Chain A
Amino acid sequence: MYIPALLAASDRTFWEWVVYLLQNNWMDFLRGAGITLLLAAIGTLVGCIIGFLVGIVQTIPMEPQDHLFKKIVLKIVRGIMTAYIEVFRGTPMIVQAVVIYYGSLKMFGIDMSAMTAGFVVVSINTGAYMSESVRGGIDSIDKGQTEAAKAIGMTHFQSMISIILPQALRNILPQIGNNLIINIKDTAVLAVISVTELFFAAKTLDGMYYQTFPVYLIVCAMYFVMTFTCSRILRWYENKIDGPDSYNLAGPDKSQNTAKKRSPGISMQLMSGRYFEQRSAMR
């Protein structure tokens, strides 16, 4: 355990070690954190794109009068997508990383770098979870929205793009934030295929100094700063796209929005009007 060269160094107290590490190895920590953020950001982004594509296909309506060819293609594509979701949600990411990194070379002769394998694993893993979130987000939009879009002559695609997806996106934004935060933390497992992210950096420094606690305490704090910042930014963004709580009138309200606010003339006419009275009588 005690290597002579490090004996003198080990006289340092715990906090002295923390300071020492930060002074001498700050670049290693930052580089690791940078790669972690990059993996999490790209993985979440690509995962979202996959999730939206799969979620949209899963919610294409299938009508009885549709062409048989369309039905068959849709059935097959959906089968593949369901299998994808179940497999990637149902196996640990650390195992997926090993299988994809080593398996791609053995099976398909694709020699990808550990970093590329890392991007692929995080993306398709996030995609599997996001698909279900997107499907839920689309399903949660009131059917009336789709019907109203259809009623003015929009195609399914048009109503998706301009009516349904913007609302679904707003609803699943917390879920996207969740995935980003999970990815920042869970990219740590990619150390198993030697992706040089923050956890890998920690392992390396730990191996250099045998100072497990100081090293991992610093890393712990760094992970927390990253996730907390991201969660605040997302919250701010949610509020921003919700828009202001109030609106400005674009002119005087001549129309009077309720009977109470109507000018006396119209109001009297309405309140005592034939059909208004009969309406009440009907109830």
Chain B
Amino acid sequence: MMDGSKSPVIEVSHLVKNFGKVEVLKDIDFKTYHEDVICVIGSSGSGKSTLLRCINMLEVPTAGRILFHDRDIMDRGTKITKYRAKVGMVFQQFNLFNNMTVLENCMAGPVKVLKKSREEAEEIAMKFLEKVGMDPYIHAKPDQISGGQKQRVAIARALAMEPEVLLFDEPTSALDPEMVGEVLEVMRELAKEGLTMIIVTHEMAFARDVATRVVFMDKGIIVEDDSPEVIFNNPKNPRTKEFLSRFIRNK
């Protein structure tokens, strides 16, 4: 996976993000290759979500570079909307468009951004809604479906853009325990199909089973970046050990 012949899809180097005087991210270096499933773990406030939001430029980095296929996305010449169309994002709070039905939510991107015809967009939307099992609910409005269903629609909406990389920002943290399974099941399926994903999560078992790499963050730095076997079975850093101690003890 990490052989030198392949260049990374996304490469983050020396990334710094300050909110006022608070340093949220301190010198982050991090590479994502094609078909990677990277789980970013760490306690709240460690900067995981901020890192993800920086990658999608929802937060503007204070310093450092983010390269997408070796092109700096912070260059003036880079069309940020074009880049975002290729890098999808799934949010903790789903953020489905409240003025649209389930189907319209998934068609909005293909029609408005990719300029596809409505017929083609509907076909694409239906394909991905079927994949997440939400095709019977196409006429429902977001406030008429459950949290787990919303998140599955949000995933279909992101997939409808046929992105190269999909970012997940704690996709199951706002869900009732009984709905977590259905969302993780969909994500597991996507990982199996080889979609490149960066997932910020608190689902340790999911990270262990599905990730190709696990990144542990603490206080704005990447403490450890390794295979799930190493991170979960014998982490090198004492901070990682401490963080995972509860999980490992429960195993």
Contact = CB atoms under 8 A, between A and B. Distances in A.
A150 B58 contact: yes
A34 B63 CA distance: 64
Interface string A119-131: 0000000000000
A260 B132 CA distance: 18
B67 interface: no
Chain B residues touching A, majority SS: helix
A152 B181 contact: no
Interface residues of B, number: 62
A239 to B, nearest CB: 15
B67 to A, nearest CB: 18
B239 to A, nearest CB: 18
Interface string B72-86: 000000000111111
Contact of A258 (B135, B137, B178): B178
Given A258-B148, A275-B184, A279-B203, A145 B97 contact: yes
A64 B59 CA distance: 12
B247 A282 contact: yes
Contact of A247 (B88, B94, B141, B182): B141
Contacts of B83: 153
B141 A278 contact: no
Given A151-B84, A162-B108, A278 B251 contact: yes
B2 interface: no
B9 interface: no
B145 interface: yes
A257 B60 contact: no
Given A65-B60, A282-B204, A275 B209 contact: yes
Given A154-B81, A163-B97, A251 B136 contact: yes
B178 A64 contact: no
A116 to B, nearest CB: 37
Contacts of A276: 180-181
Contact of A257 (B88, B95, B148, B250): B148
A90 interface: no
A147 B58 contact: yes
B137 A249 contact: yes
B139 A153 contact: no
Contacts of A106: none
Nearest to B126: A250
Query: Interface size class for chain A?
Result: 35 or more
Contacts of A11: none
A249 B136 CA distance: 5
Contacts of A152: 84-85, 88, 108-109, 113, 157-158, 161
B231 to A, nearest CB: 15
Nearest to B247: A282
B203 A145 contact: no
B179 A153 contact: no
Interface in A215-267: 243, 246-260
Contacts of B95: 142, 144-145, 147-148
A151 B58 contact: yes
Contacts of A280: 177
Interface of B: 56, 58, 60, 81-86, 88-89, 91, 93-99, 101, 108-109, 112-113, 132-141, 144-146, 148-149, 152, 154, 157-158, 161, 177-182, 184-185, 202-206, 209, 246-247, 250-251
17 contacts: A147-B58, A148-B91, A151-B89, A152-B84, A152-B109, A152-B157, A153-B83, A153-B86, A247-B140, A249-B137, A250-B136, A253-B137, A256-B133, A258-B182, A275-B209, A278-B204, A282-B204
Interface of A: 63-65, 142, 144-145, 147-155, 158, 162-163, 166-167, 170, 243, 246-260, 270, 273-276, 278-283
Nearest 6 Cβ contacts at the A-B interface:
A255-B133, A153-B85, A275-B205, A148-B95, A144-B95, A152-B109
